[in-house]
Structures are given as C-alpha cells and as structure tokens.
Amino acid sequence: MSATSQITPIIESDDFIRAALLDADIPSLLPALAHVLGDMSLLRPSLAHLAMLSNEPQAGLTAEQLDEARQLALEALIKFRDAGCVPARAPSHDELRTLMSYATSGETTDAYIPLLREELSIDGHDLRAPQWQANAIAPNTNFTVAVIGAGMSGLLAAHRLQQAGVEFVILEKNSEVGGTWWDNTYPGCRVDTPNHLYSYSFAQKDDWPLFFSPQNVLLDYFRNFAKEFGLYEHIRFDTDVVSADFDDATSSWSLHVRSAQGDEKLGANAVISAVGQLNQPKLPDIAGRDTFAGPSFHSARWDHTVDLAGKRVAVIGTGASAMQFVPIIAKEVGQLCVFQRTPNWLLPVPNYHDPVPAGLNWLLGHVPFYMQWYRFWLFWRIGDGRLIIAQVDPEWTGDKRSVSAMSDLTRELLTMYFQMQLPDQPELLSNVVPQYPVAAKRMLLDSGTWIPTLQRNNVSLITDDIKQITATGVVTADGVHHEVDVIIYGTGFHASKFLTPLKIRGRNGVDLHDEWNGEARAYMGVTVPKFPNLFLLYGPNTNIVINGSIIYFSECEVNYVLEAIRELLAHDARALDCKQTVHDAYNARIDDGNQRMSWGVADVHSWYKNDSGRVAQNWPFTLLEFWEQTRTVNLDDYELLS
Ligand code: NAP
C-alpha cells in the first residue's frame, strides 16, 4: 500500500518491458505515457478506443491496433527509462483536457477536470487530505469525535481526523476492523467493484493479486491500512454503542457504550456514524421458519461448523451474495435447491475471477500516473459513463422492460448473453431472463459461472413461491415439499433501517427513528435536522447502483464532514444543525432524480426501496455531482449553535 506518488524507477531490459506490455490495459496506458512524457502525440487518433465498448477486452481495440500501441508504448518507456525516469512537468489545463478526452473517447466534459486533477494527485500529493490543523484554527478548543464503526468508512474518517489533528475514538462492535469484510465470510465472498477502484484514492496497491479481491484480501487491506496509519490504538473493539444523546445545554453528545467492562458514558462534540447499510441480516418472514429442525443460517453469519458435503441444501435468495456462494457450494453438496423469487440481470465480466497479470502489476508500479489513469478509466467506464443505461427517457414509448432506447439495447444484449448459454433449454431460459429494466435491481457480475451452476445435475432452480418451511424442508406454492438437511438464507439486509439498532436522540430529546418513521432521509446523505453534529457515512441516498465504487462516496462524505468540523472551529461554534427547509428541498430533488432512473420507476422489488416504495438508498445523479456538492459546507444551510 503506498501513496499515489510512490513509483519504482525502471531498470529492466527492453525485452522485459516488451513482455510486460502484453499484459497492459492499453486504453489507459496511452494517456499515462502521454502524461508522463509530456508528449501528446502519443495519443494517436488511429489508436483511440471507444468508451462505449468498455466491456470488451481492451475496449474493442483490434489486434493490429494493440500491436501498434504496444510498440509505441515500448519506445516511449525505453525513452523514459534511458532519460532517468523523470516525469515531465504537470500537464496544463488544456493538456489535461486532451488526455481525459482521449481516455474517455470524448465523453467527458470540462467539468470533470477538477475532479480528475484530484484523482490523479497531479502534484504527487493526496489532494483530499485536510489542508488544515485543528490547533492552528482553534488552539483553545478541545473538539472530540466519536466514530461508530471501524469498517471502510469509519477507518477513512479516523484517518482524516488524525491528519487534521482532531481528537477521536472509534467504537467497534466486532473484535477486528473491516466491517462488511469481517462479517461476511461465506464461500466465494468477494468485491464486485474492480479493486483498483475499490480502494482508497490515497492508498493504492500495485500488487492486487486479483482484479476483484476475495474477502480475506480485502480484510488484510483494511487491517494493513489501520496498522500503517496508526488507527488501531484509537479503536475500542467489542464495544457496542447502545445510544447517543444530544445535550442541548452543552451542544455535545453523550454516548452510552457497552463492553465486557460494563456500561459507561462517553462524551463527544460530534458523532460520525460509519455503521454501513448492509449489516443487519434480514431473515425472510416465511411461515414455519423457526420449525426447521436442521442447521440454518444467513449468508452474512455463515456457520462454518456445518459440513455441507453430500447434504441436501436449500438456498433462499439469488442476490449478490447467493450469486457468489452458490457456484462454490454446488460442487460439494449432494443436492442443491436454489429458490429464486426474481431473476437478476447478469453483467458479463470475463476477468471477474482472474489474477492481475504480472506485467500489468509491474507497469502499474513503474509507470508514473498509470495507476491513476487506469483508475480514472475504470471510474468512467463503470461509473458516470454507464449511467445512461439507467436514465429514463420521458419520451420512451417502447417495451415496459426498458426505460429508454439505450436501456432497451442493453436489455437485448444482456438477454443474448443468457440465450447464448441456454440454446436448448427454453424453460430455464425463461426463468432466468428478467422482465424488468436493466439496473432496476443490482446487476450481478458473471464470469460465466451462474448458468453452468444451474445446469448441474445436483442443482435445481425453483421459481414457485415459497409457502412454508417445515421441520424437514421447504414447501412451495405448487404443493411440493422440498426435503433438505440445511437451509441457507441469502436474503439480504435491512438496508432501509439506517442506524438500527442504535437509539439516537437529538435536540429536545427527539428520537431519530421516530423522526424518520421508516423514511430515512439526510441532507447530502450526511446531516439530519435536529441532530446537530451527527454525521452519517453511507447514509440515505448515497448508494450507487451500477456506477462506481462506494469508497469514492465515502471519501466525498468524509471531506464534507471534515469541512463541517473546520467551519465549526473557525467560527468558534459548538455544533451545526441542518435547516429543515434546506434538507427538504434537497430530498425533493433526490426523489425527483430517482424517479428518472430505472430503479425508481420499475415496480420490481428491490432493497433500494423502503416499505413505502421510496428509493431511500440510491444516489440518482453523476459521481461528479456528488463530489461537487460535498467539497465545501455552505453555512447558510445550517444553524450554528454556540
Ligand atoms: P439481496 O441482493 O437483497 O438479495 C436477497 C435475495 O433474497 C433476493 O434474491 C431476494 O429476492 C431474496 N429474498 C428475500 N426475501 C425473500 C423471501 N421472503 N422469499 C424468497 N426470496 C427472498 O441481498 P444480498 O445478496 O445479500 O446482497 C445485498 C447487497 O449487498 C448487494 O446488492 C450488494 O450491494 C452487497 N453485496 C455486495 C457484494 C460484493 O460486492 N461482492 C456481495 C454481496 C453483497 P427478490 O430479488 O425478489 O427481492
């Protein structure tokens, strides 16, 4: 793990470089080389890729184009090496535009340049780090923060607070860091965002073993991060936060925490909730569930003491988790009944299970800015560049299974992916092809494992509704009793129940959950009126669906929180409370935005919606817009409390 600017000089031979280039991602390599050599002529029009073909290997570049690009890159790298590996001066604004435009085949606008500058750490520094120190701004103020949760976003918040010299403690219910990567240990558990993007912008690794890391690698990444940045000593493990109360008299928080040492009260000026959205396992409300006599467990509480070998196993649910563990356990169980309520769109990702080739890792570690351009290319192709497939065209009069011409084209292409795998099994085909628009539910990555798993002799896909669970199995609506030895629930999480089971009382004792009444909302996804200095990370409407990495969102949110704290210190205020009118107008904009996206208009069931049908999870706009709105805090949006 290193800061983005740390690069090893090239001393290897021409032949070594030539061989490494066979593993290169070419669409992002050419901008990186043009950047580092200051030579825009490397951006040959004849080698330009098409961002819209980003799902194709090398974005659809032909073999001849790849050969030409590799030869060009080889000459450029030899020149760079022989000149002492000194990068050219930072690109000008115009050059940056040229580079970015080439990297995204002209799809980005100038508005992306400031974000790109930050992403690239253009002058070699972590530009997202707070540029201020608490004791310089308010030398006589002792401002303390309680961070709840030591997962990805809690560790990030802690790191930034530490950089700014703000005192903090992290309260973590588990006995280790990692959050979701600690909780989820089911077979096959891995990230479904490419790791070069699913990693902190300022703590990149040029040696990810796989493009999409499994749980243990990610857990190590967060452990190493906490170790390297000195966060462990600030964490109180095995400590539950029971409640947090805002004291109107002192404008500060009092937390009731529980650990093996007993109950105690902790004071803090601000509370950062970093408890995640997907951490409360949801067991289905199916009659007789408690009567099942054999072992049963939820995917996020995998019971590794249960030996599945040769057993008859039922898996209820076919979401992102089941999609990962079903192909693994299918190989060892005797019989597997997979109960599917709604099929998912599969997104073909051939390298989903592949190791990162040695040549690519070498290039990422030796070519300055290659990591950043590779990351930006990923940011574009699975981020804002992909949003178009979910955007509703109000004029769309076509099939209800789509929301625009682009959505329909994507639906057709993804349907063909199923058809190609199931040419002779019309019944299975009709059971697995979704009848709702793409991106209305989370699309699941597939390297070609799901359909072959369902085709196995020991696997049955059951699409009849579940009527009841008995002591010995699962009864479906057609009256069939599926006898099984083990039931595994891949039934997701209570995603809409933000911050449960925490009890949080704000100004005048108002209870957060009463206030929300099942409709969690926040301003910027971060602040809630009547709850001064309570900051939410991965709060309402900060989830991304098809576009990007949730770590990017956390970096934006943490920036906003740190800005809020800086403003408090600068204004000698104790707390800030979001104005209700500002919050309401913001949420009206979010609701309107979500109604223009496929996940908002489609009537298919998804965890993006709460019980009333409101999309409480998702951010409906571009990644750029979220970054722009979280860069600074507008104090007009807040009441300052002293
Ligand atoms: P999920 O996507 O919510 O899937 C739950 C599954 O259970 C769905 O198939 C759902 O059917 C089914 N289900 C729920 N209640 C049911 C009932 N009463 N009867 C029958 N079926 C029922 O949950 P998940 O798979 O745990 O994933 C949740 C989220 O976690 C993902 O979307 C993703 O954001 C995250 N995740 C990420 C990764 C990763 O990065 N690799 C891996 C796992 C999870 P319906 O579709 O009909 O609701």
Concatenated DSSP letters of 293-312? -S-EEEGGG--TTS--TT-E
Please say which residue of 456, 489, 522 terminates a domain: 489
Q: Are residues 269 and 188 in the same domain?
A: yes
* CA 31 – ligand 1 centroid, Å: 38
Looking at residue 1, its pLDDT comes to 58
Sheet holding 296-298, edge to edge: 296-298, 486-489, 312-316, 335-339, 459-462
Residue whose structure tokens are 């030409």: 68
Beta carbon of 491 within 6 Å of any ligand 1 atom: yes
* Coil/strand/helix, residue 115: helix
* CA 525 – ligand 1 centroid, Å: 23
Confidence bin at 123 (pLDDT 50/70/90): confident
Within a 10 A sphere around the Cβ of 5, how many other Cβ atoms? 17
Number of folded domains that form the chain: 3
* CA 317 – ligand 1 centroid, Å: 6
Q: What is the pLDDT of residues 429-463, one digit of tens each?
A: 999 999 999 999 999 999 999 999 999 999 999 99
Give me the long-range contacts of 191-197 (CB less than 8 A, separation at least 24).
191/218, 192/320, 192/352, 192/444, 192/445, 193/382, 193/548, 193/549, 193/550, 194/378, 194/382, 196/364, 196/371, 196/374, 196/375, 196/378, 197/375, 197/378, 197/379, 197/382, 197/548, 197/549, 197/551, 197/552
Q: What is the pLDDT of residues 239-285, one digit of tens each?
A: 999 999 999 999 999 999 999 999 999 999 999 999 998 989 999 99
| Ligand 1 pocket test target in 180, 341, 444 with most atoms within 8 Å of CB | 341
Residue 433 lies in a domain: no
Q: Are residues 55 and 182 in the same domain?
A: no
Residue 422 lies in a domain: no
The strand ranges marked E within 260-407 are 262-268, 270-273, 296-298, 312-316, 335-339, 346-348
* CA 492 – ligand 1 centroid, Å: 4
* CA 221 – ligand 1 centroid, Å: 25
Q: What is the mean pLDDT of residues 164-191?
A: 97
Beta carbon of 442 within 6 Å of any ligand 1 atom: yes
Where is 388: in which H helix or E strand?
none
Beta carbon of 434 within 6 Å of any ligand 1 atom: no
Q: Are residues 147 and 108 in the same domain?
A: no
Q: Are residues 214 and 339 in the same domain?
A: no
Q: Are residues 250 and 306 in the same domain?
A: no
| CA–CA separation, 565 and 585 (whole Å) | 23
Beta carbon of 319 within 6 Å of any ligand 1 atom: yes
Q: What is the pLDDT of residues 341-377, one digit of tens each?
A: 999 999 999 999 999 999 999 999 999 999 999 999 9
Beta carbon of 545 within 6 Å of any ligand 1 atom: no
Q: Is the predicted pLDDT of residue 325 greater than 80, yes or no?
A: yes
Beta carbon of 343 within 6 Å of any ligand 1 atom: no
Residue whose structure tokens are 């309401």: 584
Q: Are residues 572 and 633 in the same domain?
A: yes
Q: What percent of the chain has pLDDT over 70?
A: 98
Q: What is the pLDDT of residues 31-72, one digit of tens each?
A: 999 999 999 999 999 999 876 666 778 988 999 999 999 999
* CA 46 – ligand 1 centroid, Å: 44
* CA 471 – ligand 1 centroid, Å: 24
Q: Are residues 246 and 295 in the same domain?
A: no
Beta carbon of 609 within 6 Å of any ligand 1 atom: no
| Ligand 1 pocket test target in 199, 278, 604 with most atoms within 8 Å of CB | 278
Q: Are residues 524 and 625 in the same domain?
A: yes
CA–CA–CA angle 431, 311, 488 (5° rounding):
55
Looking at residue 122, its pLDDT comes to 76
* 541 vs 119, residue with greater confidence: 541
Looking at residue 105, its pLDDT comes to 87
Ligand 1: atom nearest CA of 299 is 26
| CA–CA separation, 318 and 630 (whole Å) | 35
Q: Which residues form the domain of 477?
A: 289-345+441-489
Q: Are residues 368 and 473 in the same domain?
A: no
Residue 435 lies in a domain: no
- The token pair at 391 is 């955007």
Q: Are residues 341 and 378 in the same domain?
A: no
* CA 161 – ligand 1 centroid, Å: 34
The domain that holds 198 is classified in CATH as 3.50.50.60
* CA 335 – ligand 1 centroid, Å: 22
Bridge partners (DSSP) of residue 578 are: 638
- The token pair at 477 is 């609506």
Q: What is the mean pLDDT of residues 572-592?
A: 98
Residue whose structure tokens are 């490419």: 194
Q: Is residue 274 within 8 Å of residue 157, measured between CB atoms? A: yes
| HSE of 17, CA atoms in CB hemisphere, 13 A | 21
Q: Are residues 546 and 628 in the same domain?
A: yes
Q: What is the pLDDT of residues 499-544, one digit of tens each?
A: 999 999 999 999 999 999 999 999 999 999 999 999 999 999 999 9
Q: Is the predicted pLDDT of residue 5 greater than 80, yes or no?
A: no
Beta carbon of 191 within 6 Å of any ligand 1 atom: yes
* CA 273 – ligand 1 centroid, Å: 24
CA–CA–CA angle 62, 66, 72 (5° rounding):
145
Type of residue at 25: D
Beta carbon of 289 within 6 Å of any ligand 1 atom: no
Q: What is the pLDDT of residues 594-640, one digit of tens each?
A: 999 999 999 998 999 999 999 999 999 999 999 999 999 999 999 99
Looking at residue 4, its pLDDT comes to 44
Mean pLDDT of the chain: 95
